[in-house]
Chains A and B, each alone.
Chain A
Amino acid sequence: MAADCCYEVSQIAYVKLVLHALKHPSSAVNGLLLGRLRQDGSTATVEVADAVPLSHAQIGLLPALEIALIQIEEHFEAEGLSVVGYYHANERHNDLELGNAAKKIGDHIFRFFPRAAVLLLDNNKLQKLKTGKGRDPAVQLYTRDSSRSWRQTGSDGSNQLTLKEPAANIVLFDYISSEKWQQIVDFDDHLDDISKDWLNPGLFD
């Protein structure tokens, strides 16, 4: 998509995805981003309203992903939201490349939502957060460009990533200090024990 588009990530989605990554430090994690497209005149904004953590083990295995996509889509349809993107955190700390598995899943989401966003967790920025100097979101945004490949968008690029609530990083730091990540549940956890809810209700109460 060549047109300009803003991507606004809500605090809930942002915090959930970071906490998910923190809960499973020795493996890759991924999840889906839910939201809607808002058109204000000539500007399009993708509002990422929520995130659902998917897995933390054997991300390459697809059956669980299929089931999750079906159920998540159905659930959020009632709230007027649909799958608008995907997030991924790499296994290794200094790996800032968008892997093939992530690209494939991103491609699939792109087929249904052409302005799909892929967020990749940036560990360096996350580390800065700890010192209180972090102002940027600790994620990198990738979108599909006209050459059908996923490209990272810079802050001066045409696709802007913003955090909807400016204090999101501060809130995130609080949660990290209180080890909130231990409570987060992903779809994998649900499949292991169906009484665990991947919607994470009450996580932020």
Chain B
Amino acid sequence: MVGAEEAARLDRLEIQVENGGGGAWEYLCLVRKLKPRRSDKVLKHGLAILNDPKARSNLGGEEWTLYEQVAFAAFDCQQHNVAKVFSLSLSLPLHIKSEKHLMDCVAVLSKEFPGSLRVGRLEGMLLEAENSWAEAEKVYARLLEDNPLDQIIYKRKVAIAKAQGDLKVAVDFLNKYLEIFMSDHDAWRELAEIYVSLQMYKQAAFCYEELLLSQPTVSLYHLAYAEANESQCIEYSGFIILLFLRFLLTAFIEQVLYTMGGLENLLTAKKYYASTITLSGGKNTRALYGICLCSAAISQLTKGRSKEEKESSDLPSLAAEALLRDYKYRAPKKLPLLNSMLKNMKLSS
């Protein structure tokens, strides 16, 4: 997780370097540390350093790290993705040459470090970038024989599956990986995201539970868990809120006769939205909205049930108030929309 201060420093450096103010190496080091995906900038400035013999020799031993970093950036930019193709070819005259540079980077590194695992991985990634999946898999299989516990290679296999659109296979691989490396948070997150994209919310929630157990103070996991739970409920009842606002009666009554499972999910979601707010000092807009949505849905669903089961807390109205306050200061044009939405949910008067 990147801290706000470091993220701000990264942005500042990026602007500085883009405008010719120097500091490219510092920028590249920070990118390596924080791992944001800024491949076009890394490629541009990294190549600039590598192409300048004086700057390159100034780096000393770090030169190889830069080759690797630029290679990764070039892989990303070569990706069969039109936007990158556009941005590169229109703003960066190096585009046509960058494939050559890419192979040069890998060639230089394999000359310097023959038989190295790290370079072997790069060679695999080069094949991936060229969409030669079978060849890439062969390279990785070979590397895995000598290094059976290399986490990065396992992840490349997942990436290949994902790139080919085989999400079920990717999920399979990731699950197997997590059986061995169960404390890899990034992998749990990736798996959760894939589950969400497949609308398998229950499974996604399970992944977030693992993350919550190991890192209970990260507010983003609380939020994601809440959203996964709420999505599960919304799935059952099909956009519960929208129905009650627009249909108002008939269709909705059918929805009300729904499973207990949905209500439990909503209650869980509400709890975790609340913990997100606590952990983030009340500043998380999504969590505040989440509380409002959940409360409205819960009250609709528990209508007609005994009073003890009903919600009795200030939380929803406090969340509504916090949202209204925030919008008043930072997004006044949207305040009327928010107001009317909350009124319909009976959270504001």
Interface residues on A, range: 35 or more
Determine if A194 and B330 form an interchain contact, defined as CB atoms under 8 angstroms apart: yes
B202 CB to nearest chain A CB (Å) = 12
For A93, what are the chain B residues with a Cβ–Cβ distance below 8 Å? 79-82
Q: Which of B89, B193, B286 contacts A191 (CB 8 A)?
A: B286
User: Is there a chain B Cβ closer than 8 Å to A176's Cβ?
Assistant: yes
Closest to B37 in A: A26
Determine if A127 and B80 form an interchain contact, defined as CB atoms under 8 angstroms apart: no
Q: Which of B95-103, B146-154, B229-237 contacts A (4 or more CB under 8 A)?
A: B229-237
For A170, what are the chain B residues with a Cβ–Cβ distance below 8 Å? none
Determine if B227 and A69 form an interchain contact, defined as CB atoms under 8 angstroms apart: no
Name A's interface SS: helix
In B32-88, which residues have CB < 8 Å from any A CB? 37, 76, 79-87
User: Is there a chain A Cβ closer than 8 Å to B280's Cβ?
Assistant: no
Determine if A66 and B242 form an interchain contact, defined as CB atoms under 8 angstroms apart: yes
Determine if B241 and A197 form an interchain contact, defined as CB atoms under 8 angstroms apart: no
Closest to B330 in A: A195
Closest to A107 in B: B238
Residue among A70, A75, A91, A192 with max Cβ neighbours from chain B (10 Å): A70
Closest to B193 in A: A58
Q: 7 additional contacts, CB 8 Å, given A58-B227, A179-B91, A191-B285?
A: A59-B197, A60-B196, A64-B227, A71-B341, A74-B340, A179-B87, A197-B334
Q: List 27 A-B contacts (CB under 8 A).
A: A26-B79, A58-B193, A59-B197, A60-B197, A61-B231, A62-B231, A62-B235, A63-B234, A63-B289, A64-B289, A66-B239, A66-B293, A67-B341, A69-B242, A70-B245, A70-B341, A71-B334, A75-B337, A92-B163, A93-B81, A100-B198, A101-B197, A123-B82, A126-B82, A177-B90, A181-B83, A194-B331
